[in-house]
Structure formats: C-alpha cells, structure tokens
Amino acid sequence: MSLFDDDFYSTKVSKRAARESKKGDFAFRYKSGGRKWSNVRIAFVSSITSAVAATLLFGAVFGGGGSGTTSGGGAAPVTGGIQVIDPLERPIQASAKVRPAVVSVINQQMFSLGIGKDKSQPEKEAGKGTLREAGVGSGVIISKKDGKAIIITNYHVIDQAQAVKVVLMNGEAREARIVGKDQITDLAVLEIDAKGIEVVAEIGDSSALRPAEYIIAIGNPLGLGESVTTGSVSKTRQIVPVSLNQDGVYDWEQEVIQIDASINQGNSGGPLIDLNGRVVGINSMKIADLGVEGIGFAIPINLAMPIVESLIKLGHVPRPYLGVYTMDLEQYWEQQDFEDAYSNPGEGGILPEGDVPHDEEEADPGEDQILEGGQKLTLPDEVYDGVIVLEAVGPAKDAGLLFNDVIVKLDRHPISSTMDLRKYLYQQKKIGDEIEISFYRDGKLKVTKFKLAEKTDEE
C-alpha cells in the first residue's frame, strides 16, 4: 500500500467522488447551520452589496455641502445655473450671484436756503440752494457696453431728481445719468461708469414662475444698506390700480407679481430673483395699510425689458397722444354731492378751480383756462360716466375739443374714466391711427375724428 490515497492519484474516479465534484460545479459550499446558498441567493446579495457600496462612495465624493461652497460656509458666485445638493444652500448661492450687481440709488434735489429750507424746489425752477438727498431706492446692473453700465430702477425712485448718485456694493458712490424714464410702467434706466464692475445680473423668465415658488428680494430698505429678504410667489399675475398723480384717484392699472417677501421703502427698483439667481422682476410697491402684512408687488421682467430697451434706444416709450387733460365725471358728481351736503355750492354745475386734472402728461391746464371756462356742465339725465375735458392741446385742440366737453366714447367704445381712456389708447391704438371721439357739449352729442400724434415728453 502506498503512502497516498489511491483515489487521489488514480485515473479512475469513484461514483461518490464524481457526485461531489458535480455538485461543486454548481454550488458554493458555505456552511451556516448546515445550510448551503444557491447561486441565485449569492447573485442577489452581491447586487445589494454593490449598490450600497456605490451609494456610500458617491456620498463621500459629492456630499459635504455641495459644490461651490467655501470652507466658511458661505456661497461663492457661480456661472450659469445653481447646482447643489443641499436645498438650503440654493438661496445663499442665488443671492451671492446677484448681490454684486445690486446698487443703491440716491435721488438728490435742490433745497432752498434759509426759510423753507426743508422744502425741495421744483425740478424746472431749481436755482440757488443746496443739493441734498431727497429719497433712496435700489437698482440692478443688467449690462455693460462701451464702458458704461446700465441700471434698471423705478420711475418713482428718481422722479423730480436734479441729480442721481449710485452706490455700489463696496460703498463707492458714482454719478449717474438718467437715460430714460416712464411713469406709466414705473421704470427708469440709469447709466454709470463701468470701471471695476465685473458682475451683471442675468435676466430670467417671469412667465415660468409658479404660485408658491421660492423668490428672493434684494434692495436697500429704509436706506439701511443692502439686504436680502425671502418669500414665495403669492400670485403670478395680479392687476393693481395705481394713482399716477398720487392724489388718491386711480388712473392706471399695472400688471405685477404678488409676493410675500418684505418690500419696504428703499427696496423699490431692486431685483426679484429666483433660486437660479436670475432676475424675474423689479420690486416696485407694497400695500401699506393697517392689518395688511406680506403683500408686495414686483414688475414682471418679461414686461419690463421691452420698456427698458425702448428707454435705452429712444429715452422714452413712444405712445399715441390724444392731447386732453381730464377729470373723471364720477369724481365731479361726488364733489357736487359733497358741496350740496355741506351747503358750500359756489356756482352749481361749474367745475371747481382746485381740481387736479388727469392725462398722460399729468399737468395743470392753467388758471386762465379754468377761469375762461366757468360755463355750466350740461348733460342728459342718462349720462353718468365719462371724462371731462379741462384743456385740449395738440391733436385734440386742432380737432375742436373744448373745455367742459365730456368724452363718452372712443371708436364707439364706452369710456367711463381716465383709466379707461388711457387703457384704450395705449393698448388698442398706435401712433398715426385715426380715432373717433364721441362727446357731449351743451347737452348735445357730437362726433369728431383725427389722427393720434406721438407723445414724447414726460412731464
């Protein structure tokens, strides 16, 4: 008998050894409590293990606060879209991307010396005095060209300014030039020296906004310096009546984005941005009333940009010009009722001298025109709505319209207020179009036609 087992070296294989060898080809012997694992079980466990390992490896490589963050926890500006894992980092990175392009806008006006020194002089009558800060707002740099940086702000931020200064994020103040302004849309464009300005804001798409979407408002509230407030979109399209004369009479409607982010005095003109750091609106106004919280408004950037482009190119927004200074007939009736109630009639049916007229130019018709007119307002009993002509100039004067004429229709479209008149002119007509005006004079209905001119000046 040899030293080794014959079965190990023999060319003959026993039946028992053959069976064991065959089993070994198809199964892995793993004894745990006497049970053996099948190939299917082994494959399943291997897949799960690989998936867990891959997940842990991905988290180790890409986790830890996302890309584009600094060791101090702040967010670094990025180019293009914001791509991070942690959703809490997105507002930080979005605001960091835009903030260098946000500026403070200082409205400077001439104030008289001595008595009445706290009252600013009218823009056209500015003479001797001292140039002082009359108001503060915000703006956003949207482009650079030919060594100049272009800034969007609100019309009311720079209204009646004799000089405008812009303060950059680093505290540097620069003189600004008013490129153009538009009272109807409450937009204005400024220009400053672009030296040292590296960041301009990226324009987004306001039509893509959705209710409850997260937004960020950046500006200079109450003159306290640059700050950031956050909130959400309450309504993507809201129509808000506004008083262009700020006399309490609503004479225009503005389409805005309603938001619940804090908008305070000084925030006006600053950018409203989305989580990608793109400008989707220009902060404009808020409802300031007792018991009202969290209702702010921004001009949609899709509506603002065509106006901005026109202001850059022409300095104004071309609109059809009717040439009438007006007052709502409804307002006139209310004044008459007030006088009757308090026994202060003056001359019944005659327009009072203290009324502020309304027109696309927003200017007084002048004392002489009112004193000349004094005739009684005569209308049929069924006429309650319309606009009273306080003065006719330009095309309307050439067509024969006079003081105390009451316009009731444009192109047979009923007109009940100055707001209706403006909306029809600016939305339905173009410069050079012919317009038909139906009006009452001395109780008789008359009709005239003429071509609309172009209105270029902002009074």
Token pair for residue 289? 């009333």
Nearest residue to 232 (alpha-carbon basis) of 120, 46, 39, 91 = 91
Enumerate the β-bridge partners of residue 69: 75
User: CB pairs under 8 A, 24+ apart, for 86-95?
Assistant: 89/65, 90/275, 91/214, 91/216, 91/230, 91/275, 93/68, 93/69, 93/277, 94/216, 94/273, 94/274, 94/275, 94/276, 94/277, 95/216, 95/218, 95/228, 95/273, 95/277
CB 379 within 8 A of CB 330: no
Q: Give the HSE-up count for residue 427: Cα atoms under 13 Å, Cβ half-sphere.
A: 12
Choose, from 95, 104, 206, 268, the residue flagged as catalytic: 268
Question: Burial letters for 90-104: b for 16+ Cβ neighbours within 10 Å, e otherwise?
Answer: bbbbbbbbbbbbbbb
Enumerate the β-bridge partners of residue 132: 109
Sign of CA dihedral 198, 199, 202, 203: negative
Pairing of strands 202-203, 278-286: parallel
Which DSSP string corresponds to 183-248? TTTTEEEEEEE-TT----PEE--GGG--TT-EEEEEE-GGGS--EEEEEEEEEEEEEEEE-TTSSS
d(CA 447, CA 51): 82
Q: How far is CA 1 from the centre of its chain?
A: 103
Token pair for residue 368? 């002489």
Choose, from 104, 156, 355, 420, the residue flagged as catalytic: 156
**Residue 156 annotated as catalytic:** yes
d(CA 333, CA 386): 11
**Residue 243 annotated as catalytic:** no
SS3 category, 92: helix
Choose, from 159, 182, 186, 420, the residue flagged as catalytic: 186
Q: What are phi and psi of 285, to 5 degrees?
A: -160, 170
Number of Cβ atoms within 10 Å of the Cβ of 6: 9
Positions marked active-site: 156, 186, 268
